[in-house]
Structure 1
Amino acid sequence: MTLEQNWNRIRETVSRAGHCAIASIDEHGAPTIAPIGTVFLRDDTTGFYFDQYAQALGRNLDRDPRVCLMAVDGRPLYWFRSLLTARFPSPPGVRLYGTAGPARPATEDEMRQVRARVRIPVRLKGGALLWSDFSQVRDITFTDYRPVRYPHMMSHLWQ
């Protein structure tokens, strides 16, 4: 199945993961990866993330916009149940491939989405320091995907 045909399942998988990792290529041609907790996927095989702290990622993308985003469901209860039943109830993870655009000011709708995601932790001292100053985003256009696969426990997933 194509990226478009699986997009809803991909969006659900990324949403459950919470935090993602975005891989890029540094100035020496070496792969590097950055954890990003503010990735949002749209309806149309695109997404965006808030480009606040990952300065090295931004520099890499300005030079080479290719990315691989990986999202894995890390909830302990999800894994416990899956291991107990020997079956994943939903995809455990996905890799998305695409290109990132230049940094730009976030729209009001994008700001609303990130405020909704951090509404509880931003009330804490550390949360306020980390998540109260978002303003820039980068769009990502995805062109392909690969499920995170574990043999035997997920033959019923990803056609």
Structure 2
Amino acid sequence: MNLQTDWSKIRKHFNQSFKSNLHVSIASVGSDDRPTVTPIGSLFLNDNQAGFYFEMFPSKLPAHASINKNVCVLGVNSSRLFWIKSLFKGRFEHYPAVKLYGQLGEKRKATDREIARLKRRMRSTKGLKGHKYLWGQMESVREIYFQQAETINLAKMTQEL
């Protein structure tokens, strides 16, 4: 998968992944060379092969960023309907998972536009008690600059893609 030419497909995939999982997974490596995976529920992809996430709860990911900025972001479409249709047909119409390889940028204050994107995504949970705890005070973001995209190969199921 080509990062530049397929970027709109990648963005669509990650939007579908968020709808079915409410998060993506970001893998990073610390100073002890031990990898870890962090679930992030606030990743947004921009138009320019870059994105950002709100950094309030992660602890290892920011610590790793000061040592090794390389990350891998995994978005999986876990929609039951998507999987059942694909299993019935014997093939996927779209890739079930995409990995993005990139580098973390610096943590900074979120712009009004970024906060508006978060509010729009989370509006369906606005009236719930946990909404305020999880998304009420999001103020800082960290950018991610992507260099490579990779699809997940599931033999014959993804052969025709």
Deviation at 1:67, TM superposition (A): 0.6
- Whether the 8 Å contact between 1:122 and 1:131 is mirrored in structure 2 is no
Deviations along 1:40-86, one digit per CA (max 9) or x if unpaired, are 11111011111111121111112211110000001111111111111
Distance (whole Å) between structure 2 residues aligned to residue 2 and residue 130 of structure 1:
34
Q: How does 1:132-151 map to 2 (within 5 A)?
A: 132-151=136-155
Distance (whole Å) between structure 2 residues aligned to residue 25 and residue 122 of structure 1:
34
- Whether the 8 Å contact between 1:62 and 1:102 is mirrored in structure 2 is no
- Whether the 8 Å contact between 1:122 and 1:132 is mirrored in structure 2 is no
Structure 2 residue identity aligned to 1:16: Q
SS in 2 for 1:127: helix
Q: Which runs of 5+ in 2 are unaligned?
A: none
Deviation at 1:17, TM superposition (A): 0.5
Q: Is 2:93 the counterpart of 1:82? A: no
TM-score by length of 2: 0.93
Distance (whole Å) between structure 2 residues aligned to residue 148 and residue 62 of structure 1:
29
Structure 2 residue identity aligned to 1:131: W
Distance (whole Å) between structure 2 residues aligned to residue 15 and residue 149 of structure 1:
20
Distance (whole Å) between structure 2 residues aligned to residue 156 and residue 12 of structure 1:
19
Q: Which runs of 4+ in 1 moved over 3 A?
A: none
TM-score by length of 1: 0.94
The aligned counterpart of 1:29 is: 33
- Whether the 8 Å contact between 1:52 and 1:136 is mirrored in structure 2 is yes
Q: Is 2:115 the counterpart of 1:111? A: yes
SS in 2 for 1:119: helix
Q: Which runs of 5+ in 1 are unaligned?
A: none
Deviation at 1:2, TM superposition (A): 2.5
Distance (whole Å) between structure 2 residues aligned to residue 123 and residue 53 of structure 1:
21
The aligned counterpart of 1:131 is: 135
The aligned counterpart of 2:124 is: 120
The aligned counterpart of 2:4 is: 4
The aligned counterpart of 1:71 is: 75
The percent identity for this pair of structures is 34
Structure 2 residue identity aligned to 1:17: S
Deviations along 1:114-136, one digit per CA (max 9) or x if unpaired, are 00111111320112211111111
Distance (whole Å) between structure 2 residues aligned to residue 13 and residue 60 of structure 1:
27
Deviates more, 1:84-93 or 1:99-108: 84-93
